[in-house]
Amino acid sequence: MRSRAKSRDTNPELDITSFMNLMVILIPFLLLDAVFTQLAVLQISMPSGSGAAGDEKKPPLVLEVMVYKDKFLVADRQTGPLKTINLNAQGKFDYKALNDYLRTIKTQYPLVTEASILLEQDTAYDKLIHTMDAVRIVVSNETGKPAKYALFPDVSIGDAPPDLGGAAQ
Q: Is residue 99 part of a domain?
A: yes
Q: Is residue 28 part of a domain?
A: no
Asked if residue 62 lies in contact with residue 77, where contact means CB atoms within 8 angstroms, the answer is yes
Q: Is residue 75 part of a domain?
A: yes
pLDDT at 84: 92
Q: Is residue 79 part of a domain?
A: yes
Show the domain range for 123.
63-159
Q: Three-class SS string for the chain?
A: CHHHHHHHHCCCCCCCHHHHHHHHHHHHHHHHHHHHHHCCCCCCECCCCCCCCCCCCCCCCCEEEEECCCEEEEEECCCEEEEEEECCCCCCCCHHHHHHHHHHHHHHCCCCCEEEEEECCCCCHHHHHHHHHHHHEEEECCCCCCEEEECCCEEEEEECCCCCCCCCC
Q: Is residue 128 part of a domain?
A: yes
Domain count, the chain: 1
Q: Is residue 18 part of a domain?
A: no
pLDDT at 67: 92
Read off the CATH number of the domain in which 132 is found. 3.30.420
Residues of the chain with pLDDT under 50: 167
Average pLDDT, whole number, for the chain?
A: 81
pLDDT, one tens digit per residue, over 56-72 is 677 788 899 999 988 99
pLDDT at 39: 54
Q: Is residue 36 part of a domain?
A: no
